[in-house]
Structure 1
Amino acid sequence: MMKSYYKQKKPNRSDAIGKPSKSIKKKSPMVLEVVFWLLLAEDVEKSEQVLREFDMNMAYGPCIGMTRLARWERAQRLGLDPPGEVRSLLDSGKAQTKSLWDDRV
């Protein structure tokens, strides 16, 4: 009885056999990555953006398995000169202590 209200359109046999749909456009992975980061950046505060940049910068060593503050202190001990702004944000208590990659990898 529901078929009379919601008619289903079955694809033509020729469309179902290996022909790609014209409505699907292939985008390069780089374009998708940029769009992803732009969408993330829209709703992130300036302080969180600074912390994310710190997480993404591999010059201060790996960040998986440690807090941002522990990573900042390790970089300071090793003489890597991490940004002071990151330390002040972490000391303020308003910033998230987990790194960007925590619980994702």
Structure 2
Amino acid sequence: MASDVTGFFRQQKKKSGVTRAAGSKKTPRSKAKGSASCGSDVVQPPALVSHGSFDLLDEFDDKEEVLRQFDMNMAYGPCLGMSRLDRWKRATALGLQPPEEIGRLLRAGKSNPECLWDGRV
């Protein structure tokens, strides 16, 4: 065990508080090379790619927006591990009354059958 802690902390106490030891110079802190922050000129890394396309694209139509809202609505149960249509059918069977519009969109087969979180979680 260390019996003399003052050897580890070479500081002199004064009335105004703790100061640096004699001989130590205050050096300005610099940002780590390549770090990005607000107002930085450093280029951000590209967005993560999942299933061959960028995750953060906002290029989807109104139908996909409605289906994403369905995915995020927990009133119809969890959506992971099953397709959107299976989730809609399960919610109907349990009497949760999911919107019929969602059922029509999913049965048409022109939208992504997997939930919003598929492959991300």
Tell me the TM-score range normalised by the shorter chain.
Answer: 0.5 to 0.7
- SS in structure 2 at match of 1:90: helix
Among candidates 79, 82, 95, match of residue 79 of structure 1: 95
State the 4+ residue runs in structure 1 displaced beyond 4 angstroms. none
Post-superposition Cα deviations, 1:52-83, rounded to whole Å, max 9, x if no partner, equal 00000000000000000000000000100001
Indicate the residue corresponding to 1:35 in structure 2. Answer: none
The aligned counterpart of 2:29 is 15
- Give the one of 35, 38, 46 matched to 2:62: 46
Paired residue type of 2:29: D
Higher strand share: 2
Corresponding residue for 2:83? 67
Task: For structure 1, list consecutive stretches of 5 or more residues without a partner in the other structure.
Answer: 1-12, 18-22, 26-38
Cα distance in 2 for partners of 1:63, 1:93 equals 18
CA RMSD of aligned residues (A): 2.4
Give unmatched runs, 5+ long, in structure 2: 1-26, 32-36, 40-55
* Identity level (%): 54
Q: What amino acid maps onto 1:55 in structure 2?
A: D
Q: How many residues align?
A: 76
Say if 2:55 is the partner of 1:24. Answer: no
In 2, Cα distance between equivalents of 1:51 and 1:70: 13
By relative contact order (CA 8 Å, sep 6+), the higher-ranking structure is 1
Give the drift of 1:24: 2.4
Distance 2:113 2:59 in 1: 18
Partner of 2:115: 99
TM-score normalised over the length of structure 1 = 0.64
